[in-house]
Structure formats: structure tokens, C-alpha cells
Structure 1
């Protein structure tokens, strides 16, 4: 697994939980949107940004002019755990995709996902390509051919260079959408079918791991399947907290998921390593991620219903698309060009990327997402 990580691109739709069995009914007129989940998405996004800005070596060292370990002697060790924001996003994605796919046709589900992902993604690819092509920017741009392939989201299986370092998780998400659409949405979502899908996928992914067959790994994604499955189980608990099968799905997702996270992200206490992630630390972050989504699912955070969290959720996807590479450009200008201290540079860069995310959301996603959804669902 590479250590260039990003968030999973999901946006929770409005969910009316007032009729969910096993839960106390909401007060009349209470909003159904899970705003706490929106806030959690932004927290996971900022975790990944912390990793990209101060929790890894490589290209980001060129932006700072030295290793981030020198810029953040203490915090760089904590920032190194920020890459686990991806796993938390996959849990959230399992929850949200199950919620949004329930009761929808395959056409509606597919159009919703495409309309949610593509507009901001296309603009981000063009924007990053253009910025990296500027002579004053010290990073290599991909070839024009590879940049065009990136617009399809198929650059990884086609072996093209990536414009966005974050896009590898989009490829993971797309494969999850395809599996869920074929196995659950197409035949019609029901509790029994969702339970069977979770159990079957988790078992099949474990067998794929043992088989060492690249095609099975590509389709079943053993290292990521437990997180999606755990999120789906949490949505079943959101519908009915007394569902014993759902509790078992969540437990299995966590137990298998933490195993993969430790195996992929643990590194020995090597003095030459950028930072040492301990096995216990990784398990703890994964557990906190499951627990946070679980608190939303069980209604423990229903009172966290601030309108600003909806805005936070809306900014998450465009923020992830642009924060890594464009953030390095901003860091280079602020820290090396203008001599802004490291802590202030870190904060100003994150703020700048959030501002850019708002622009993308306001002027790209808001007009184009509903238009593209309508185009894709229009019948001839």
C-alpha cells in the first residue's frame, strides 16, 4: 500500500431516521440529516491533510525545504497517524452508500454517484495540471496524454501517471460502488441481502488474500473491504440497534480491518524511518474511527446538529482533491518564499485549501451535480 492517501469521496445524503425501528422517534420537524457525520468527515479530511503536510517524507520535504520532522519535531509523529483517516473514510463510505442505495434503482444510484464524484474531480485535475505546468512551480507535470486519461478515473488500472496523488482512493471507492450496485442495488436492497453481501464479501476477501491472485485482490480489495463492511453494518444498526447480525458485522469488520491496517502501516522503530507508527497506536485510531461512526449510527450524537457541520461535509470532497499537491505549492511559497514560520504555514495552507474547496463547491458542484444527475437519469 502506498502512503499517498486521501479521503474517500462520499457525501451523506439527507436521511430521515425518524422511522428507523429500534430508535426513539424524533421530534416533529426535527432535521433528518446526520450532521455529526458531516463533521466527522471533515475531521478525517484534516487528519489526512496533517499526514500530507507534516507526517511523511518525500515530496513534501521539497516544499518545506527540509524534512517535516525538523519542522515539527514532536507533532510529526502524531501527524504520521493521519493516513488512517482514509480507513475512517471507508467506514463512513460503507454507511453512506448503504443509506443512499436503499430503495433506489440502479440507474438512480449510478447517476447519483457519478454526479457526486465527477464535476469537482474534473476541475481539480485540470487545475492541478495547469498549476504544475507553470515554470515557477518546481514539481513535474504529467504528460498531456496521461492528464487526459486521468479525466476517466481509470488511470491506475491503465498504468498512467496520476495528476492527483489522492486519486488512488477514488479507484477503491469506484470498485466498492460497483460491487454494492451489482450485489445489492440491482436486485433490490433488503436487510437480508445486505447482511449476505457483507458476510460474503468479508469471507471472499479473506480467501482472496490467501489465494495471492492479483485479479481477486483487484476485485475484492482484501485490505479495504473490512472497513466498508463495518460501515454497512453500522448503517444496519442505525436502522435497528437491536440487530444482532449487524453487531456481528461491525465487530468482524473492525477485527479484520485493524489487522490489515497494522500490517500495511506499522513500521519498525527504525531510527532512519520518518516516524514510528506503533501497532497499538494504529489499532487505537481505527477503534476510535469505528466508535465515532458508531456513535452517529446509534443516535448518541443527535444533538450535534449545527448547521455549520453541513458546510463542513460539503467541503470535504473538494478539499481532499486539491489539498495535497496544491498545498505543497502554498507551503513552498509561504515557508520558503515569505519565511512564514512552520506552524503558521501549516494553518494558513489548510485554510487556503478549505477556501478553494468552498469555491469548487459553490461554483462547480452546486450547479453541475444536479444537472449531471438529471442528464444521467433522463429516459429516452
Structure 2
């Protein structure tokens, strides 16, 4: 059957003739682990959605949260709904950008890991996550130290622990509140590594989606903290949706994948409602579900190849700004709003801050991420090579 590779190109397997029969064997789905990922056009549309999601989150934090709409809040000093009511109305839904990130993460991780070894998976995650994150911690800590009064500064030992990205597992506060999503991402990587170790196949990823979904469904009522920690029910169904979408993209659609995606949507809309009730309190469930549904429809279009004609090169650069922008915009940005809110129109201030953080994100990508990622990759590759050679020497 036609298969779509990791980058979107359709390929049609040519069946080999069975020896002694003169007729081709019955076509089947690949059963063994993939050994390589075929090249093809980049999915530029995903880069565009990633940047849009990051901007949604940033605008939400600046002008749409419950915190900034309180009287005498430390950021704007009065309810932002009074300062810019129209912006506030739309910004209240920006938090959905986080759920969009999770779905895209499930899609992209599955795509980038296909045909890779566990070592390559580990190295790719380290060089992708840590360079910009380390810079963001230093940058945010410096801004909060220079401009106190809005956010509490952490103790030096807690800031240092944040450099590991494991602070949530140690019960230590994040340097910036947005880092909570990284804890969800790390748990997803840990779980998915179990599949990568055995070799990625269509069947194994489908089974993984079903098992993880069952665990996420049972965790809230199981009264078993370890299950709740590993299953991460508040984010699991978004990652699962991304995995199902990538399988559609690579192997084509079928009823089972549509069923997994439908289950993910049904469970996801419930999680959206819970987040509104327990955390956000500023947006409606109907509006949130509508936005999330529209996003999933766009992702389905991407998975089915309907956006393959979008090949604007600048979107690659736009996508590269997403991670640094997300890491740096919140604590530092709201602190700057506190200092600059009386100097210009509020809408202009928000737009100016976003523009400045986009420029800073580009500089971080070029001057920090790229050089550090290259150095880390070379160092880790050397380290793993030494381990491999040492293992051979021990056997000899």
C-alpha cells in the first residue's frame, strides 16, 4: 500500500516475486523495526503552527490570564480587561497553545525518531532541549534580579537545580512558570523511549497509544501516585493524538487510527474543561473546544498531505524561534510590562515586547542553540563511542 515517509513523500513499495511461485506475495504493513528514514519535503505548515501557538501563549500571559485581570495586579496595576478589552477577550484562549504544542510534539517526536537508535534519540533530545533552556534560565534570573518586585527570586541552589530540567521531580519551583510543560515532555520522552528501544513499527506505536491511553484513563481513580506520575493524564491524550496523526501521515489512514484520534479528542475536550475550571477561569469551554478542534483539523490536513504545497523557506526560521520564545517570554516579559506600562499604549507595549522577544529568540537560536548543540552532539557521540569500545574490550 502507499506509504508516506517522515517528510511527507509518498512511496509505493514494489513487491518482490516469491521464489518458485511467479506471483507477488500479499502486501503487509512493515513488521520489523525501521532502519532508515527516507528523505522528502519538510512539513513547513508545522513550523507555522508552532510559532502561532507560541505567540498565542505569550499574548495570553501578557493580556489574558486571571492574574493580569485582578485589581492592583503587579503587572498592569489594574484589570487588563479595562485597559484593552478586545485583546483580553481573544487572549483568554491563548493557553490552548500549550495543548497544541503537546500534539505537535507527539507528531514530531515520532517522525524524528523513526529509524533512529535509542542513543540517537537521547542525543537528539539533549541537544534540542538544553542549550536554549540553559540560556533562558540565566536570562530570566538576571532580569528578575535586576528588576525585582513582580516575581519572587529563587535561591541560588534552586536556580542551579533548574539547570537539570528535573526540578519538578524534586519538588523545587521553576525559575519561570512556563517550564511546567517541560516536565510533561520529559515524561513523554521517557515512555516513548521504551518503544524506540524495541524498534519503531506501526504496530508497536499503535499498541503504545492504546496502553498509554488506558493508563491515563485509570490514573485519576487508581489512587496510585506512581501511575499518575508516569501516565500524566493531563497531557497524555494530546501526545497520543500527535502519534496517531503521524501514523496517518506515514502509513495512511485507517479506522483504528481514526478511532484513536477520536478518543483523544473526546478525552482532550474533558481536559480542556478541567483546566478552565481549575486553572484558567477566564475562557469558555465551548470556545476552547472549538479552537482545539480547528487545530486538529489543520493537523489532519497536514497528516493527509493536503498542505504539502506550502514550502515557504522562511517558515523554517519562524519555527526555530518557537522554543526560545516560549522559554523566555513570561517572567521576564511581565516584569518589563510592570516597568514600561506607563510609557506607551498597552497594545503597542505588548506588540513591542513580542517583537523584541522574537529578535532575541533568533539571536539565541543562531548564537547559542546552534553552537552548543553541535558541541554537545560531538561530545555525546564521543562518549557513546568510548562506551561501545570499552564494552568490546571487556568482552575480549
TM-score (norm 1): 0.88
CA contact (8 A) 1:15 1:34 kept: no
Equivalent of residue 364 in structure 2, options 351, 360, 364: 360
Specify whether residues 31 and 197 from structure 1 end up closer, same or farther in structure 2 by C-alpha distance, changes over 3 A only.
Answer: closer
Matches within 5 A, 1:133-212: 133-134=145-146, 138-182=150-194, 184-212=195-223
Name 1:238's counterpart in structure 2: 249
Specify whether residues 206 and 93 from structure 1 end up closer, same or farther in structure 2 by C-alpha distance, changes over 3 A only.
Answer: same
Q: String of CA shifts for 1:11-45, please: whole Å, max 9, x gaps.
A: xxx943224569xxxxxxx9611111000000111
Per the TM alignment, residue 296 of structure 1 is displaced from its structure 2 partner at its CA by 1.3
Per the TM alignment, residue 203 of structure 1 is displaced from its structure 2 partner at its CA by 1.0
Specify whether residues 57 and 263 from structure 1 end up closer, same or farther in structure 2 by C-alpha distance, changes over 3 A only.
Answer: closer
Name 1:285's counterpart in structure 2: 291
1:35 aligns with 2:44: yes
Name 1:317's counterpart in structure 2: 323
Q: String of CA shifts for 1:109-136, please: whole Å, max 9, x gaps.
A: 0110011000110111011111211256
Name 1:49's counterpart in structure 2: 58
1:16 aligns with 2:7: yes
Name 1:82's counterpart in structure 2: 94
Give the whole-Å Cα distance in 2 for the aligned partners of 1:332 and 1:312. 28
Name 2:117's counterpart in structure 1: 105
Matches within 5 A, 1:221-260: 221-260=232-271
Per the TM alignment, residue 178 of structure 1 is displaced from its structure 2 partner at its CA by 0.4
CA contact (8 A) 1:266 1:279 kept: no
Worse-matched range after superposition: 56-65 or 298-307: 56-65
Give the whole-Å Cα distance in 1 for the aligned partners of 2:275 and 2:158. 28
Q: Number of paired residues? A: 352
CA contact (8 A) 2:325 2:357 kept: yes
Equivalent of residue 295 in structure 1, options 282, 301, 304: 301
Per the TM alignment, residue 59 of structure 1 is displaced from its structure 2 partner at its CA by 6.3
Per the TM alignment, residue 154 of structure 1 is displaced from its structure 2 partner at its CA by 1.2
Specify whether residues 20 and 47 from structure 1 end up closer, same or farther in structure 2 by C-alpha distance, changes over 3 A only.
Answer: farther
Name 1:26's counterpart in structure 2: none
Runs of 4+ with deviation above 6 angstroms: none
Specify whether residues 253 and 149 from structure 1 end up closer, same or farther in structure 2 by C-alpha distance, changes over 3 A only.
Answer: same
Per the TM alignment, residue 99 of structure 1 is displaced from its structure 2 partner at its CA by 0.5
Q: Over aligned residues, Cα RMSD in angstroms?
A: 2.1
Equivalent of residue 68 in structure 1, options 80, 84, 90: 80
Q: Which has the larger radius of gyration?
A: 2
Give the whole-Å Cα distance in 1 for the aligned partners of 2:380 and 2:6. 23
SS at match of 2:7: coil
Q: String of CA shifts for 1:199-231, please: whole Å, max 9, x gaps.
A: 111011101122132221111011211100000
Specify whether residues 238 and 274 from structure 1 end up closer, same or farther in structure 2 by C-alpha distance, changes over 3 A only.
Answer: closer
Give the whole-Å Cα distance in 2 for the aligned partners of 1:16 and 1:330. 40
